Amino acid sequence: MAATEFEVTNVFQGDRRSLQRWVLSHTLRHSWPLFWLFFGALTNAALAAVVPVFLGRAFNAILAVPPDYGRLGQSALWIIFSQLLRSGLQLSRNFGAEVIGQRLERDVRAELYASLLGKSMTFHSLRPVGEVMARATNDVRELGLMLNPGVNLIVGSGMFVLMPLVFAPTIHPALVLAPAFYSLGYVWALWRLTHELGPIAQDARRKFGTLNAGLAEALEGIEIVKGAAREDEEGARFDHNAAAYRDAYVRQGAAEARSLTLLLLPITLTLGFGHALLLFRAGALNAGGVVTYNSLLWLLGFPSFVSIYAYSQMTLGMASARRILELITAETELDHNPAGRAAPIQGAIRFEDVAFAYADADGTPVLADISFSVAPGQTVAIVGQTGAGKTTLVRLVSRIYDVSAGSVQVDGVDVRDWNLAVLRQQISIIEQDLFLFSRTVAENIAFGRPGATQAEIEAAARAAQAHDFILAFKDGYQTVVGERGVTLSGGQRQRLALARAFLTNPRILILDDSTSAIDSATEDQIQKAIFRAAEGRTTLLITHRLSQIRWADQIVVLRQGRLAAVGSHDELLAASPAYQAIFARQERRKALAGD
């Protein structure tokens, strides 16, 4: 199976063969900032090591008889010059690290977003939105922080560890022992720390995802929460998730506290100073050499103090990278099939021995043995009890899902052999739970055709019986609707969805119980729009409205995922017990409603 249903080609994709390759492929493509990071770190540490050298020379100049004030002045000037130069190079290191970190965030976020857009509906339906958003936002940010300050401090501190190893032997070859001891202990302590922090960081990121998913779910269902007066319970659930997230970070802090890197510094300073004094007493080292050497050892203070934070940030970043890559490489059941059929749809649909079962279920089929045909331009009403598989059936036409057995054909070609983008661009689906974006009315109507003119948008709105109520808004077509269209009534959302369908001019129109929550007066207006939308198009209509069922050219009756009957209203009313039961039930409801 592929990692995506669609491939967005204008986004850089990292090397996904392993976590390390993926992070490196995103990092190494920014060569110049990477050069300035390493060059700045190396020269910054080297110039920091210059100070102890000139301090030793200055000390010897003072102790000379008579004191050599000229040499003392030269040492002071060299220290000032070197540190001014060092500040500029340190800036280049920080600048390079920040540029790489920001670019890494940008590229990874783009790759992840493109991947999420390409995933199938099955993929998205199995994952909480809040948990996905935690990976797309907070985890991506942690990845950027891994580069700066994480890698920035790791590279910088590594150079500081290197300097005493390089400069100490120039004073006396034996003086390499103390920095060598520190280097070996430093590597061992950090190896131990990172291996302990790895699972803890992974757990912390997972707990954050759970926290975010719970928060998003509660806010999305806030109307239900308030309607059931469950605020206290949801607050307690949030507190529980927040406490679990906090505990993960407490465990991280405990692991950091057990790190031995800070203990290494005083041990190394003590050993180094004692060794230098022994050499001084033996006449193998002068006073300036002792000062230089001990000042060099103090450079190890920087890696000692920043290593815990830097490597913790590195571990968190890699844990976040793993979560992001898992999302990107998660397999999806569908593929784009870019080499598939790409032609205008005429509108013929055929279901041939179709069966379907959800991949995450126990294998029990939702649909089985479904076979019927729809001619181009026909209107087909699909009826059946709740749970009969009506919505699943129509979703097979646009390959929201793929059949488990049999085939669904459009114009005589299996939908799996069509170019998926071409197929879906000619199919418009209007569902009961309509979705509108937090954008203007015009942008929502033109979503399927972003290049549509204002005149085309208004023509589509008129055809959908929406133009008049849109003009009643203060800003007309530029009115911004709330998320999911919450600022609009059900009938208004319905008509905007129909206008969107008109504008895309689909060859196949699917209406999924889209008037179930509409009152009769509003339905009359929508009914006119549906009639017009169905003209010249193949229309699949899931409905319980008798007025819509009657004018269908063909009626498909589903019962417990199987085809109970197919025919016209009169034929089924005469010969199908299943349809007779549905019709009788609807007549009773109509009578009770006073229609």
| β-strand pairing of 379-384 with 538-542 | parallel
What number of other Cβ atoms are within 10 A of residue 10's Cβ?
6
Distance between CA atoms of 499 and 511, rounded to whole angstroms?
A: 13
Tell me which of 9-13, 283-287, 332-336, 523-527 is least confident. 523-527
What's the pLDDT score for residue 127? 78
Question: Which of 342, 292, 15 is closest to 169 using CA atoms?
Answer: 292
525: confidence class by pLDDT, cuts 50, 70, 90: low
* CATH architecture group of domain 349-593: 3-Layer(aba) Sandwich (3.40)
Tell me the CA end-to-end span of the chain in Å, nearest whole number.
51
Q: Are 337 and 316 in contact (CB under 8 A)?
A: no
Q: What is the pLDDT of residues 84-112, one digit of tens each?
A: 999 999 999 999 999 999 999 999 999 99
Q: If you write DSSP's letter for every residue of 36-99 in order, what string do you get?
A: HHHHHHHHHHHHHHHHHHHHHHHHHHHHSSS--HHHHHHHHHHHHHHHHHHHHHHHHHHHHHHH
pLDDT tens per residue, range 136-146: 888 999 999 99
- What is the predicted pLDDT for the residue at 107? 92
The CATH classification number of 19-198+253-329 equals 1.20.1560.10
Q: Which range among 3-12, 47-56, 151-160, 195-204 shows the weakest confidence by mean pLDDT? A: 3-12
Confidence of residue 361 (pLDDT cuts 50, 70, 90): low
Provide the pLDDT confidence category of residue 517 given band limits of 50, 70 and 90.
very low
Residue 399: CB atoms within 10 A of its CB come to 24
pLDDT at position 188 over 80: yes
pLDDT tier for residue 481 given thresholds of 50, 70 and 90? confident
72-76, 157-161, 229-233: range with lowest mean pLDDT: 229-233
Exposed/middle/buried for 471, CB within 10 Å: 0-12, 13-18, 19+? Answer: exposed
Residue 294 and residue 300: Cα distance in Å, rounded? 10
So what's the pLDDT on residue 595? 47
Threshold 0.85, pTM exceeds: no
pLDDT value of residue 420 = 86
Residue-wise pLDDT for 239-257, tens only, equals 999 999 999 989 988 888 8
Residue 513, token pair as written in the block: 């119980």
Of all residues in the chain, the percent with pLDDT exceeding 90 is 43
pLDDT of residue 175: 94
CB contact set of 29 (below 8 Å; sequence gap of 6+)? 12
pLDDT value at residue 363: 64
Long-range CB contacts for residues 59-63, cutoff 8 Å, separation at least 24: 59/287, 59/288, 59/291, 60/286, 60/287, 60/288, 63/287, 63/288
Separation of alpha carbons 96 and 76, rounded Å:
30
Lowest mean pLDDT: which of 367-371, 394-398, 432-436? 432-436
pLDDT at 546: 75
Mean of pLDDT values over 443-472: 88
**Where exactly does CATH 1.20.1560.10 map onto the chain?**
19-198+253-329
pLDDT tier, 348 (very low <50, low <70, confident <90, very high otherwise):
very high
Residue 51 above 90 pLDDT? yes
Enumerate the CATH 3.40.50.300 domain ranges in the chain, comma separated.
Answer: 349-593
Lowest mean pLDDT among 254-258, 365-369, 379-383, 542-546: 542-546
Name 496's Cβ contacts closer than 8 Å, sequence gap at least 6: 434, 436, 441, 444, 445, 461, 464, 466, 485, 488
Q: What is the pLDDT of residue 96?
A: 93
pLDDT at 42: 94
**Would you say residue 177 has pLDDT above 60?**
yes
Average confidence score pLDDT of the chain: 86
- Confidence at residue 402, expressed as pLDDT on a 0 to 100 scale: 86
Can you give the pLDDT at residue 9? 61
The two beta strands, 538-542 and 508-512, are parallel
> Packing angle between helix 69-118 and helix 301-329, nearest 10 degrees?
10
In three-state secondary structure terms, 342 is coil
The reported pLDDT for the residue numbered 350 is 95
Helix (H, G, I), strand (E, B) or coil at 328: helix
